[in-house]
Structure 1
Amino acid sequence: MYDLPSEEVGESGLPDEFHPLQATLLRLTFQPFTYPSEQVFSGMDLNIYYDPNNTRRYKRPDWFGVVGVPKLYEEQDLRLSYVIWQEGVNPFIVVELLSPSTQKEDLGEIEAEPDEPPTKWQVYEEILQVPYYVVYDRQNSSFRTFHLQNQRYQELEILDNRLWLAELGVGLGVWQGSYQKVDRLWLRFYDASGNWIPTPEERERQRAERFRRLLLENGINPDEV
């Protein structure tokens, strides 16, 4: 398994097990404190249509976050895709998980031929002008972040594998822990106190642990409740 690639370079392939798990963890912990929860949307492996004059053109980030749009499309339905000219708001942050077939395009190391659609990098930087573009390399468990400045991406310095996003009131960092019973380094969001934003499952466990401690403090055996 470790010697054979999960996908061939140049072939589209399908994501390995890591991609959906990592994208889901980002979705569950993306809770900007500067926006109400009903005005936050995040997409996983969802088409972003960006050209109203050519509706066959789209990009499909591993994960992206948008603020200032309803969580549900027109506040009533789950999205089948994210259509820029209908939504009226571009993604604020995009995360791509590096893989052999897409790494050069993800890092802006190749340019599209004149008769081909623009690359991901070109779409995120020039067309959608996504403020923060992140690439995560699970092989060395590190991420790189590019910030849009003067309409061009400039790489930001990452300290201690953490990056604070002041506009959203959250940070993005690498966490060592167990998610879905897989212990490894994961990319996830943290709050202003530096604490990792819990998933609903983690929040429920924390609530149960607090209740257990409360019972013990009052001399009650939790196993008998």
Structure 2
Amino acid sequence: MSQLTRSQPEIKPFPDHTQLPESDGTFVKNFQEHPQSILLTDSIKTTLDKLHPDGQYAIGQDCGIYWRMTEPPERGAESPDWFYVPNVPPTIDGIRRSYVLWQELIPPLIVIEFVSGDGSEERDQTPLRRNQPEPQRPGKFWVYEQIIRPVFYAIYEVQKASVEVYILVAGHYQLLPANERDHYPISPLGVELGIWQGRYQNSELPWLRWWDEQGNLLLTGWEQVELERQRAERAELKLEQQRQRAEQLAELLRSQGINPDEL
């Protein structure tokens, strides 16, 4: 008498970053967000390169962090405007389409959201409610605090020229107080985060920027080049002033019958 064998269900592995969507079809909401991301990345690169001489870190700019499997997959991701993850490869097999928590396990150290509306989306603490016919999408604040769990979560509002920084303490976010410079220390990086009023990429705005722990603004590559150019111009001007004074002195000596070349 033959025995019937029951086939085992196929176990599908969790997808990786190459198998998940890298876009949900939305677009950047205003002209300021893209330059703001570049400004943050460009100005902190030297600091991160010193912290990671092996180059093992990743920066995401408006790209997905997948934290759960859903259908469609995009519903299981948040897309911070800017985030930094230490001790992970900057790319995987030459690319990085998204950041998949169940694949890499290391949470971001800091996540930054740029407010484009009234800020309610970035502060939404609605929890994930399971076992419902149509599961409600949890609030962004709740997902960061309870699931993705970056140590620092910053909410930047350009229209208010302000930034709120939260730090994860005992599993919950607490507002981080500003220091005497009205900056927020991000101590693992040795930097501070704050608002800088100035001109960048042809726009005068209150930009979100980094400073070092002594209060010195971290410069972009272009700003460093411009600073060196100004220093070179000042040095050249000083040399020219010295040359002119020497020539004036020589003329004075000649007018008195003294050859300055014989002194």
Is the structural similarity TM-score above 0.5?
A: yes
1:63 aligns with 2:79: no
Tell me which amino acid in the other structure corresponds to 2:91.
Answer: Y
Structure 1 residues 47 and 169, CA, compared in 2 at 3 Å: closer, same or farther?
A: same
Q: Of residues 93, 108, 133 in structure 1, which corresponds to 2:124?
A: 108
State the distance in 2 between where 1:130 and 1:212 align: 44
State the distance in 2 between where 1:161 and 1:139 align: 18
- Using the TM superposition, give the Cα deviation of residue 30 of structure 1 relative to its aligned residue in structure 2, in angstroms: 2.6
* SS of 1:28 mapped into structure 2: helix
The size of the alignment, in residue pairs, is 205
1:49 aligns with 2:66: yes
Tell me which amino acid in the other structure corresponds to 1:138.
Answer: V
List alignment gaps of at least 5 residues for structure 1: 1-11, 221-225
Identity %: 31
Q: What is the TM-score normalised by the length of structure 1?
A: 0.81
Structure 1 residues 130 and 216, CA, compared in 2 at 3 Å: closer, same or farther?
A: same
Matches within 5 A, 1:1-225: 14-31=28-45, 32=47, 35-36=51-52, 38-51=55-68, 53-54=69-70, 56=73, 57-70=76-89, 72-74=90-92, 77-100=94-117, 103-114=119-130, 115-159=135-179, 160-219=181-240
Determine if contact 1:35/1:68 at 8 Å carries over to the other structure: no
Match in the other structure for 1:5: none
Tell me which amino acid in the other structure corresponds to 2:230.
Answer: E
Compare CA radii of gyration and give the structure with the larger one: 2
Runs of 4+ in 1 over 6 A off after TM superposition: none
* Structure 1 stretch displaced more, 57-66 or 28-37: 28-37
Larger strand share, 1 or 2: 1
Determine if contact 1:62/1:96 at 8 Å carries over to the other structure: yes
State the distance in 2 between where 1:171 and 1:40 align: 19
Determine if contact 1:27/1:43 at 8 Å carries over to the other structure: no
* SS of 1:195 mapped into structure 2: coil
Determine if contact 2:28/2:34 at 8 Å carries over to the other structure: no
The one-character-per-residue Cα deviations of 1:25-76 (angstroms, maximum 9, x if unpaired) are 112223446722623322111011122x448111101111122223x313x6
- Using the TM superposition, give the Cα deviation of residue 109 of structure 1 relative to its aligned residue in structure 2, in angstroms: 4.7
List alignment gaps of at least 5 residues for structure 2: 1-25, 242-263
* Structure 1 stretch displaced more, 40-49 or 108-117: 108-117
Q: What is the TM-score normalised by the length of structure 2?
A: 0.70
* SS of 1:30 mapped into structure 2: helix
State the distance in 2 between where 1:191 and 1:41 align: 20
Higher relative contact order (CA 8 A, sep 6+): 1
The one-character-per-residue Cα deviations of 1:157-192 (angstroms, maximum 9, x if unpaired) are 224431111111111011111100211211011112
Structure 1 residues 86 and 112, CA, compared in 2 at 3 Å: closer, same or farther?
A: closer
